[in-house]
Amino acid sequence: MSDVAQHLVNAASLGSLYALLALGIAVIFGVGRILNFAHGQLITVSAYVLLVVSGLPWPLVVVLTLLTGVVLALAMERFAFRHVRRADPATTLIVGFAVAALIQEILVLSVGARSKTVDFATSTTLPVDIAGISIPRLDLVTMGVTAVLLIGLTLLLTRTTVGIQLRAASEDFGMARLLGVRSTRIVATAFAISGLLAGTAAVLLTAKSGTLAPEMGTPAVLIGFFATVIGGMGSLPGAAVGGFVLGVVTVLMQVLLPDGLLPYRESLLFTCVIAMLLFRPQGILPAATAGQRV
């Protein structure tokens, strides 16, 4: 019984982390129809900044890491994606791919290709006992942070002018502009939120694994991409649900797969994704505007 509860906690924790990754992708796609492949590099660079400042008191480390994510995301928008504002999603996807490659190679040039270890928040991996289940504190933190961010994002989107403008822009960008929403500012806002989410993911990922590598962002962005696809492109609740589903399925496979198949769990996970799309190509919670109007 406690085994089952333990796995449930693992699943919820991993699901929360994946939901964070997916939200970072979805918030930009929803507003700007931009799929930012370089989201992974936002995470990587933030994590390396964390490594540099890890001697400081931890709240300062967290703030600086988040700030890196936000600043870098804004810079990406300003210097790369703004130039292709009117291009189709495929072009912006390639722009993201190129930005990602550029940042990654520059990172390799400056810090080397080897992975590094970082001594940050190691105490959070120690477990606490709650009702007979031992839960690593980090899992609790991950779930808590995701919950807070989800609530915060929901409040922002429903209660503030900026949030309403964001939603309007993701429903119908042209119409929102006609009604006076400043498109440049609103896209930049979406990027800033995405950067904040990337910084958060960087903190949680680094605390979890304790190691950094220049390519650490790529698996993260892949998870985020697939989560938004299975959740429903352009839908924020869909992205969160998609991330959660991916996390739960991953943990389920770790528990249930026979040893011989364990190395293939990534393949099996993505095969599940493709198979699911066979039955529900629009995703779990499709955005209202995602349907083709033919």
Q: Is residue 140 part of the contact set for another protein (CB under 8 A)?
A: no
Q: Is residue 75 part of the contact set for another protein (CB under 8 A)?
A: no
Q: How far is the CB of 60 from another protein (least distance, A)?
A: 32
CA dihedral 144→147→149→150, nearest 10 degrees, is 170
DSSP secondary structure of the chain: -HHHHHHHHHHHHHHHHHHHHHHHHHHHHHHH----TTHHHHHHHHHHHHHHHTTS-HHHHHHHHHHHHHHHHHHHHHHTGGGGTTS-HHHHHHHHHHHHHHHHHHHHHHH-SS-EE--SSGGGGSEEEETTEEEEHHHHHHHHHHHHHHHHHHHHHHHSHHHHHHHHHHH-HHHHHHTT--HHHHHHHHHHHHHHHHHHHHHHHHHHH-EE-TTTHHHHHHHHHHHHHHH-TT-HHHHHHHHHHHHHHHHHHHHHS-GGGGGGHHHHHHHHHHHHHHH-TT-SS--TT-S---
Point out which span in 2-10, 98-106, 197-205, 250-258 binds another protein (CB under 8 A). 98-106
Q: Is residue 172 part of the contact set for another protein (CB under 8 A)?
A: yes
By beta-carbon proximity to another protein, the closer residue of 35 and 66 is 35
Q: Which of 67, 222, 252, 253 binds another protein (CB under 8 A)?
A: 222
| Binding residues for another protein, total number by CB under 8 A | 56
Instruction: Give residues 18-57 in contact with another protein (rule: CB under 8 A).
Output: 33, 35
By beta-carbon proximity to another protein, the closer residue of 149 and 216 is 216
Q: Is residue 108 part of the contact set for another protein (CB under 8 A)?
A: yes
Q: Which of 1, 55, 59, 86 binds another protein (CB under 8 A)?
A: 86
Q: Which of 5, 6, 71, 97 binds another protein (CB under 8 A)?
A: 97
What is the Cα–Cα distance from 183 to 76, expressed in whole angstroms? Answer: 16
Point out which span in 16-24, 125-133, 157-165, 217-225 binds another protein (CB under 8 A). 217-225
Q: Is residue 185 part of the contact set for another protein (CB under 8 A)?
A: no
Q: Is residue 253 part of the contact set for another protein (CB under 8 A)?
A: no
Q: Is residue 167 part of the contact set for another protein (CB under 8 A)?
A: no
Q: Which residues bind another protein (CB under 8 A)?
A: 33, 35, 80, 83-91, 93-95, 97-99, 101-102, 105-106, 108-109, 172-175, 177-178, 183, 218, 222, 225-226, 228-229, 233, 263-264, 266-267, 270-271, 273-275, 277-278, 281, 283, 289-290, 292-294
